Amino acid sequence: MSENLVYEGIIEEIIFQNDETGFMIANLNTHEDYICIKGVLPFIKSGDRLRVSGKLEIHPIYGEQLTVNYLEHVKPKERDELFKYLSSGVIKGIGEATAQLMMQAFGEEALEVIHENPERLLEIPGIGPKKLEQIILSYKEQYELRDFIMYFQNLNITVHMAMKIYRKFGLEAIEKIETNPYILADEISGIGFRFADQIAQKMGIESKSPFRIASGIQYILNREAGSGNSFLGKKTLCYLTERELGIPGDLVEQMIAELAVKGDVQVEQMSPKIDHMPLDHDENGDGFTDLAVYLPTLFYAEQQVALKLVKLMMMNNQPPQTFVDEFIEAYQEERGILLGQNQKLAVTRVLESGVFVITGGPGTGKTTIINAVISAFEILDKKVLLAAPTGRAAKRMTEATQRESKTIHRLLEFQGDMEFQRNDQNPLEADVIIIDEISMVDILLMYRLLDAIKDGSHLILVGDSDQLPSVGPGSVLKEILASGMIPSVCLDEIYRQSETSLIAENAHKINRGQAPILNKKDKDFFFISRTKADQILKEIEMLVTDRLPNYYGFSAMEDIQILAPMKGTGVGVDALNTMLQSVLNPKASEKGEKKVGFKLFRKGDKVMQIKNNYNIDWTNRFGEEGKGVFNGDIGFITMIDEVYREMTVVFDQEKEVVYDYASLDELTLAYAVTVHKSQGSEFKVVIMPVSYGPPMLMSRNILYTAITRARELVVLVGDKKYLNQMIHQTHEERRLSNLKGRIAHFKNVWEELSKQKYN
């Protein structure tokens, strides 16, 4: 067995580096010789001075290599060496110019200043509070976190994930995790229960540990919330947890009771009127099927949404009917239009109602009603605010109304960490709030919105009830409509229909289960028949790179969006993105690249945020700053900086976000995206592959949602038998929620209290 050898030197060249695992192969210059070293060496850069120990091995191709089992970062000793180290970019925020200024100011004590008195760096021109914070964090990575990282490496946790843990818990993380490893699943995005469970097993945690059972229950409830369910029946929750953890069901029941006492879950009786899973049956014949188990945030949100909707509905003052009649007549004359009877009724009822819902498919006149209502409220000297869930939807609303529209988060003055400046203590300064694309809004965001609306205000909700439901939990629009308590109108007559457009007409045909009109000359709705996956991919490639840009003048990157029902399969999102990246943004020497797992990012790529990040900073071209990038936001990579280990993405052509490499798992390529992720967006051109897929994804509302995202052109490529299958497959996602029941309950309570007040 070879002996342990010790070397000290400077990293001259990095031959291979994997940022996720921390594994590296590099050449170490000992001033006497060059030694090839390899091993898990996180945060090492060219120019670092290291003391390493390990064993020499002979690689059949690369020759002699030292497998490192210990490393120590040695601070540079000589002035020239110190300058070379600082100017190498090894500490983020310090480049050559800043290093020169630091050497002039602090000399050989520059590193001691960073370590002991970092606030003195503010004396250096160009270093402000934000850059100082970056330098301090990077320095800690270099000098304080190696043992921390190595500890998590032994638990098979990547360097990126270890950094997330550090940023959440600091250096106390090891102590916290040794006490309860399941805190990783509860607190760290990207570490699920199953991974935390594997770590716990390595640490010798018992399978029946209360920590494990409690975390398992929370995991199941969070997983179901991710699928759209606001709660689970207790029987279903026990069954799923018992199956996931492999433990007796009575232990799960006991833990649910303990969690309920502590307030970590909320439990209430579940009426048979609530949609429920097969396990949640009525055993006792007492009219209650089971207990509903909620995460506390979802329980509170559902209650508060129902209560506030009822309050807004019951407390509003109505304008005189004479005003409404006179306004509609004057509006028609001024605009030179004639409103349909359903539209006139909608305008009248909106003005009369504290809460009103307008639903309808594309071209049915929703925008016409919104514009009329805005004019009426402005005549009444009411302040009107407009918002939508996404930046794209808000921009489209601005274009349609010629008035400013914001995202809901921006309207509520989002502060990060799910904190909003606008709330019940600091409500929106508005008399009327109009929200478009309401089908995208989940129960949590709906609660935040309603919390910021003053009693007595008008709330107008606009959307398409046939669209896919929100990505987050709940089914807000459908539950409001299903309650039968909130005034609403469903528009079904197409008004916005030019002679050359088939998109709206076909959307309504598909929604009725009818075959669409295809391939009419000079129209905007086409089907190209291809049966094999490679043929479909090739056809989409030709459409994007040649036919649509050259014939119609569309931009492949800006105007055309590929939507697919699923991620996998030969024509799924993953395969499409690989192909489209290679043809639309091919590899080039001047383009930076960064590999993250199986994903390769390249400067110029079209990307999408795939999870809500409430705390990430952004700036825009007006110099405004804010926080938050959200699931479904689409942007373009403008810079990949290996020195600072950062990637810059610009969303919606104005919001610039800088990601450190540890956060790149929040992004994915977006040349093609799933139909679910396209909600609230609108594109000039939509191309969709139509091929075999799971029945739940080959459904009418998936197809309907996809084609209603297009403004100017739809092209379907695939097999017509699967198109027909989607048209006739009416599978609809069923979600567990009781918003409609709560609305009915609070309305009955309100009416009963009103009777008592006046009797």
User: Which residues contact residue 238 at a Cβ distance below 8 angstroms, ignoring those fewer than 6 apart?
Assistant: 249, 252, 253, 256
Q: Is 192 annotated as a binding residue?
A: no
Query: To which H or E segment does residue 610 belong?
Result: none
Query: To which H or E segment does residue 79 belong?
Result: helix 79-87
d(CA 534, CA 538): 6
CA 474 vs. chain centroid, Å, equals: 16
Residue 296: what are its φ and ψ, rounded to 5°? -55, -40
| 45: helix, strand or coil | coil
Q: Is 366 annotated as a binding residue?
A: yes
Residue 157: what are its φ and ψ, rounded to 5°? -100, 130
d(CA 536, CA 576): 10
| 69: helix, strand or coil | strand
Nearest to 702, CA basis, from 717, 720, 688: 688
Query: To which H or E segment does residue 513 belong?
Result: none
Q: How many CA atoms lie within 13 A of 465 on its CB side?
A: 17
Q: How many CA atoms lie within 13 A of 294 on its CB side?
A: 22
Q: Is 363 annotated as a binding residue?
A: yes
Identify residue 437 by its one-letter amino acid code.
E
| 299: helix, strand or coil | helix
User: Which residues contact residue 732 at a Cβ distance below 8 angstroms, ignoring those fewer than 6 apart?
Assistant: 699, 701
d(CA 588, CA 387): 41
Identify residue 210 by its one-letter amino acid code.
P
Q: What is the dihedral of CA 89, 91, 96, 102, to 10 degrees?
A: -170
Q: Provide long-range contacts, Cβ within 8 A and 24+ apart, for 392-395.
A: 392/634, 392/652, 392/680, 392/681, 392/682, 393/436, 393/437, 393/440, 393/680, 393/681, 393/682, 394/436, 395/652
Residue in the block written with tokens 């179901």: 224
Identify residue 690 by its one-letter amino acid code.
V
For the packed helices 296-315 and 443-451, what is the interaxial angle rounded to 10 degrees?
A: 50
Nearest to 684, CA basis, from 653, 724, 712: 712
Residue in the block written with tokens 């070293």: 37
- Three-class DSSP labels, 411-459: HCCEEECCEECCECCECCCCCEEEECCHHHCCHHHHHHHHHCCCCCCEE
d(CA 327, CA 688): 44
Q: E strands, 237-367, where? A: 266-270, 290-294, 355-360
Q: What angle do CA 409, 563, 360 make, to 5 degrees?
A: 60
Q: Is 741 annotated as a binding residue?
A: no
Alpha helices (H) along 88-158 = 96-106, 110-116, 129-143, 146-153
Q: Is 367 annotated as a binding residue?
A: yes
Is 664 buried (19+), middle (13-18) or exposed (0-12) by CB count in 10 A?
buried
Residues 602-629 as b or e (16 or more Cβ within 10 Å = b): bbbbbbbbbebbeebebeeeeeeebbbb
- Report CA-CA distances (Å) from 116 to 91, 131, 140, 665: 16, 17, 12, 34
Nearest to 413, CA basis, from 621, 651, 612, 625: 625
Residue 481: what are its φ and ψ, rounded to 5°? -65, -40
Annotated binding residues for ATP: 363-367
* Residues annotated within a binding site: 363-367
